[in-house]
Structure 1
Amino acid sequence: MRFNLPFRKAATTLNHEGAVAYTLTPQLELYAAVATTALSDQFYEKADTRLRRLRELVARNDPEFVARLAVYAREQLYLRTVPLVLTVELARQHRGDSLVSRLVARVVQRADEITELLAYYAQANEREGVKTLNRLSKQVQKGLAHSFNRFDGYQLAKYDRAGQVRLRDALFLVHPTARNSEQQALFDQLVQGTLPTPYTWETELSALGQQAFASAEERTAAFRATWETLIGSGKLGYMALLRNLRNILEAGVSAGAVERVCATLSNEQAVSRAKQLPFRFLAAYREVLALQSGYVPLVLEALETAIAHSVVNLRGFAADTRVVVACDVSGSMQQPVSARSKVLLYDVGLVLGMLLQGRCGHVVTGMFGDTWKRISLPRGRTLQNVQEFYRREGEVGYSTNGHLVIQDLLQRREVVDKVMIFTDCQLWNSTNDGGTLAQAWIDYRRTVAPRARLYLFDLAGHGSAPLEVREGHGVALIAGWSDKVFDVLQALENGNSALSEIEKIDLSI
């Protein structure tokens, strides 16, 4: 299937603020919904509403496109839940070949994803309880059997967690054939509940937390010693380090331990292997920033180095390419990316915007709400710059007057090559003067910069855009929270569509 087809004129609709917007093609709408989905309630859309929309979009799209998108979401965007949803929904729609079994084997990459997929399968097919899963799709069963064969005893024990479906239940449902006698012994242990408890930092700290101590000082000393042992062992994974920086510093570990932590955080190879979403570094940065430890500056510096490494392959533009980076800081953007996260859509836009700023030679950056304000900040300090934007966000108010970004360029008669807007795409004009982003962009290209291009970085995936996404209009849409949005940007620069990265996915196992 080819995705880079001539555009048809988009139909108009209304966005969640009641402003005129433009519909997306089914492929583009599904891509945007998937790339921005945490399946938790959002400002404009409840989780159940998003889930229903995903199901409808799967039915409207080509099965191979859905499969490629699911693999892209799992392997390139590092998402876990939504690829499982796409896989189950595709299994409900598609029959006749091995597409679903191959897809299951690709998206299930952790042992707990076996049980997550089965739990959603039961929900999607309106079944309750493990026993109702005995009529499992043969292709889903085949794919899960392949997945079971990947996991060793450590992985099976680590992810054998309580839930409506246990790994033991899954084993009985799927009936995988063991590769050898050693694996059969592991399967037998899983059934009997006798897999050895794996050594992880979580089990180590959990065991320590259950001990009784004579005093608070004794307890602190015990945790300090345990953290130092974990850090020295090399068994503390990269994400565990990011998430536990506060705990490590508050435990009062030694200077040597802090130096080892910083060396790991800032190691380019470690960053590359960890595949962390950029906003994870911001979450860690803010946790550390709030501490009183004398090691805070050292750790903050390591985090700045780490996020720079995370986008080392991000291609910027030539020094004379004139770029505008505009970040939406409206009220609807101040929504957590997931139920358990302190990071907001607003933060994601700022992080991605500042990463892009760091790769451009000629760049204007700013934020918009009621008004549009240019803010000049030095390159090379991504997280520090995000904090500066965060500190000043109240200066522009909380509406979504994105058209002011382009009107400002019009009034200045300022020629730029590219305008990058990081937003949830729910733009509206709170001034009631009739101005829209769509009209401002038409006027700007007609009278000031005919070759300018506008890139909408959609961070919410609500299914519409504030102007027609059409190459002839110099408008493109990119969706997602990870640094992979810049790969899509590069594809667009090379004349491809926003979906060309997905089209490259090989579905073999």
Structure 2
Amino acid sequence: MRFNFTFRKPKTTNHAGAAAYLLTPQLELYAAVATAALSDQFYEKADTRLSRLRELVARNDPAFVARLAVYAREQLYLRTVPLVLTVELARLHRGDSLVSRLVARVVQRADEITELLAYYALANERAGVKTLNRLSKQVQKGLALSFNRFDGYQLAKYDRAGQVRLRDALFLVHPTARTPEQQVLFDQLVQGTLPTPYTWETELSALGQQAFVSAEERTTAFRRAWETLIGSGKLGYMALLRNLRNILEADVSAGAIEQVCATLSDRFAAARAKQLPFRFLAAYREVLLVQSGYVARVLEALETAIGHSAANLRGFAADTRVVVACDVSGSMQQPVSQRSKVLLYDVGLVLGMLLQSRCGHVVTGMFGDSWKRISLPQGRVLQNVQEFYRREGEVGYSTNGYLVVQDLLQRREVVDKVMLFTDCQLWNSTGDGGTLAQAWLDYRRTVAPQARLYLFDLAGHGSAPVEVREGHGVALIAGWSDKVFDVLEALENGGSALTEIEKIDL
């Protein structure tokens, strides 16, 4: 079998100043969306990313943009960036109901109505709520449909102070109530008389405002409150994850802990919660800080929970030879958002270790100044991430990703798949001129012609260190969700990330 082992010359440079390859407008928009927290990153400020998103929307087909917005909301579990895509599409697209249908599809929480309107004002250079009276008819129609879906609990829970209130949105959109009962809710929203919803936040907030005779009385009250909340089943999955440390420090009963662990470990509960995998790592690290005899039990439940993320991963037989390489360079030491303690580096490790947990024949390691293989047991995803985290300084903080493939070349080691979890901003700090593109060309030409290289882009800066072409065995997958594994499966079946997006039914 003959292969054309020739790469086109790079046509751009990345943020590190190294030669890089441009992505197609579709692939660039997908990567930018899948990794968008719309907060400052190492190489790119939030307003720069937003400007680039707006430009890319204009360069892509409206139907693709709409499908991508739905994909980002429903498959990648993102909230803000689908609203941005929707508003930008509304500014450019006319003549059919695409925008109204998209608005109704991506607005899935009541507060997303006000978020969309706040961004609409920004994107259209409107100052304040009063200037929104010339709202796009298609946006107005879609938001009216959204209003009809929310009950009193949802409206009250998300009626928050901000640039746009739900009351303002109601006046702007003028939804028609479907029932007399819904009209009552709309009237209560206008008058500010919606009943305060019962949530775990309101329960604990009320308790926190009480005066207690002693610290012991306060501790007892909070322990009973947590036990009541856990027993009621009203504490959602995300709330459990975020409050594991509080629950343990409240010294709740063994029965309450078992109920918490059973919920966390439940495959269907985890799937319904749609948590990004790195959320489990954040919870795991908080639990490690607690002095409690139940810590080991909770950590085990978290390991089980995150294991569900890759349980259905296909395309990895027992004899499939895989290399999982995680970028731990300086640019990866960047929080995924302003309010998060989780770094891009952590996201790469979590996804890499999830992948490792499903492979029968796998080499794992990390790269910075150097590339180092690290053998870790399977089945302990979060524990393995912590071990990588402990050892990351052993390879330095440069971006010499080409060393991963160069190592395979020197060993003459045949593998089927090479997985790089990276921000794709690779740069050779050694001065020897080596690049990932050249190393990959040499490896496929002389060692493993059938090998495939998968770039898991965790930052979406718009370029790649290797030309992304099927003929060269190179594919790009972007995002922080376990849905990257669905794209991986699609690639195994001759598809791509883009074909997964095209499957979305509008």
Do both proteins adopt the same fold according to a TM-score greater than 0.5, normalized to the shorter chain? yes
Q: How does 1:263-278 map to 2 (within 5 A)?
A: 263-278=262-277
Structure 2 counterpart of 1:166: 165
How much identity, in percent, do the aligned residues show?
89
**Deviation (angstroms), 1:311:** 2.6
* In 2, Cα distance between equivalents of 1:11 and 1:139: 42
**Deviation (angstroms), 1:458:** 0.1
Structure 2 counterpart of 1:258: 257
Structure 1 counterpart of 2:505: 506
Structure 1 counterpart of 2:446: 447
* In 2, Cα distance between equivalents of 1:469 and 1:70: 23
**Deviation (angstroms), 1:401:** 0.3
Question: Is 2:432 aligned against 1:433?
Answer: yes
Question: Is 2:339 aligned against 1:336?
Answer: no
Q: 1:95 to 1:9 in 2, by over 3 A?
A: farther
**Deviation (angstroms), 1:312:** 2.1
Structure 2 counterpart of 1:97: 96
Structure 2 counterpart of 1:318: 317
Structure 1 counterpart of 2:3: none
Look up the SS of the partner of 1:271 in the other structure: helix
**Deviation (angstroms), 1:444:** 0.5
Query: Is the 2:310–2:485 Cα contact (8 Å) retained in structure 1?
Result: no
Q: 1:195 to 1:10 in 2, by over 3 A?
A: farther
* In 2, Cα distance between equivalents of 1:110 and 1:497: 30
* In 2, Cα distance between equivalents of 1:412 and 1:289: 39
Q: 1:476 to 1:218 in 2, by over 3 A?
A: same
Q: How does 1:45-60 map to 2 (within 5 A)?
A: 45-60=44-59
> Quick one: which amino acid aligns to residue 261 of structure 2?
C
**Cα distance per residue 1:119-159 (max 9 Å; x no partner):** 00000111111100000000000000000000000000000
**Deviation (angstroms), 1:242:** 0.2
Structure 2 counterpart of 1:72: 71
Structure 2 counterpart of 1:132: 131
> Quick one: which amino acid aligns to residue 56 of structure 1?
E
Q: How does 1:14-413 map to 2 (within 5 A)?
A: 14-413=13-412
**Deviation (angstroms), 1:259:** 1.1
* In 1, Cα distance between equivalents of 2:505 and 2:120: 25
Query: Is the 1:10–1:23 Cα contact (8 Å) retained in structure 2?
Result: no
**Cα distance per residue 1:243-296 (max 9 Å; x no partner):** 000000111111111111111111112111111111111110010011111110
* In 2, Cα distance between equivalents of 1:293 and 1:352: 29
* In 2, Cα distance between equivalents of 1:200 and 1:61: 42
**Cα distance per residue 1:288-336 (max 9 Å; x no partner):** 0111111100000000011112332222501111110000000100101
Query: Is the 1:27–1:61 Cα contact (8 Å) retained in structure 2?
Result: yes
Q: 1:46 to 1:166 in 2, by over 3 A?
A: same
Query: Is the 1:130–1:164 Cα contact (8 Å) retained in structure 2?
Result: yes
Structure 2 counterpart of 1:5: none
* In 2, Cα distance between equivalents of 1:264 and 1:274: 11
**Deviation (angstroms), 1:117:** 0.1
**Cα distance per residue 1:416-473 (max 9 Å; x no partner):** 0110000000000000110000000001011111111100000000000001001111
Gaps of 5+ in 2: 1-6
Query: Is the 1:316–1:356 Cα contact (8 Å) retained in structure 2?
Result: no
Structure 2 counterpart of 1:483: 482
Q: 1:120 to 1:10 in 2, by over 3 A?
A: farther
Query: Is the 1:12–1:21 Cα contact (8 Å) retained in structure 2?
Result: yes
**Deviation (angstroms), 1:216:** 1.7
**Cα distance per residue 1:367-396 (max 9 Å; x no partner):** 000000000111111111111111110100
> Quick one: which amino acid aligns to residue 384 of structure 2?
N
Query: Is the 1:316–1:359 Cα contact (8 Å) retained in structure 2?
Result: no
* In 2, Cα distance between equivalents of 1:312 and 1:254: 31
Structure 2 counterpart of 1:459: 458
Query: Is the 2:311–2:358 Cα contact (8 Å) retained in structure 1?
Result: no
- Give the root-mean-square deviation of aligned CA atoms: 1.0
**Deviation (angstroms), 1:12:** 1.4
* In 1, Cα distance between equivalents of 2:274 and 2:391: 30
**Deviation (angstroms), 1:65:** 0.2
* In 2, Cα distance between equivalents of 1:316 and 1:491: 10
**Cα distance per residue 1:97-131 (max 9 Å; x no partner):** 10000000000000000000000000011111110
Structure 2 counterpart of 1:472: 471
Question: 4+ residue stretches of structure 1 with deviation over 6 A?
Answer: none
* In 2, Cα distance between equivalents of 1:228 and 1:497: 46
* In 2, Cα distance between equivalents of 1:341 and 1:397: 24
